[in-house]
Amino acid sequence: MLTPGFTLFLAVLRIAAGVSLFTSGLQKLSWFAQPPLQQKFAEWSAHPANDAVARYLAFVSHYPAAFSRVVVVGELGLGALLILGLLTPLAALLAFVMVLNFQFASGQIFALSYLRGQSGLAYLMIYPVLFFSRAGTALGVDGLIARGMRRGGAPSM
């Protein structure tokens, strides 16, 4: 059983991760008009970390506009879900996959520097914690729904 203090900590972690993801998406709104991922994919393809990354980049390089838009919608949508505490496990899992894809494609995840300094490792590790914990139960819609269902009625908002 989680203590009330730890549950509150998870809620703050969830909200902070959601705000970080959402504001990142807001900064990328211009990606709808001018998708920049084609240039990024070309830079990363010039020096891929290994053959798996090279094959992955060969695939995604065909769809830079689509992936640019998916990133923006994903960051905004998943960030909002995490802030609200709605569908928290699903949002955390999808956010983990998004961050992992970016770090894999860029090759960051294969560098020794990934383990220290300002890398995405901390962000990548937050999402599994949110996924496996009950991070949406405190200060979140998931908790309101769960409490409403325990009372035997329809979810109360």
Q: Is residue 155 part of a domain?
A: no
Q: What is the pLDDT of residues 81-128, one digit of tens each?
A: 999 999 999 999 999 999 999 999 999 898 887 877 666 788 889 999
On whether the CB atoms of residues 130 and 13 are closer than 8 A, the answer is yes
Q: What is the pLDDT of residues 127-149, one digit of tens each?
A: 999 999 988 889 999 999 988 88
On whether the CB atoms of residues 31 and 69 are closer than 8 A, the answer is yes
Q: Is residue 99 part of a domain?
A: yes
Q: Specify whether the backbone of 119 is left (phi greater than 0), alpha (psi in -120 to 50) or beta.
A: beta
Q: Is residue 18 part of a domain?
A: yes
Looking at residue 1, its pLDDT comes to 66
Full-model pTM: 0.89
Stronger pLDDT, 49 or 112, i.e. the higher one: 49
Q: Is residue 156 part of a domain?
A: no
Q: Is residue 58 part of a domain?
A: yes
Q: Is residue 157 part of a domain?
A: no
CA dihedral sign, ordered 129, 134, 139, 145: positive
Looking at residue 49, its pLDDT comes to 93
Q: Is residue 38 part of a domain?
A: yes
pLDDT at 154 over 70: no
> Average pLDDT in the 6-32 region?
95
Number of domains in the chain: 1
Range of the domain at 127: 4-150
CA–CA separation, 91 and 62 (whole Å): 27
On whether the CB atoms of residues 18 and 82 are closer than 8 A, the answer is yes
> Average pLDDT in the 149-153 region?
77
Q: Is residue 122 part of a domain?
A: yes
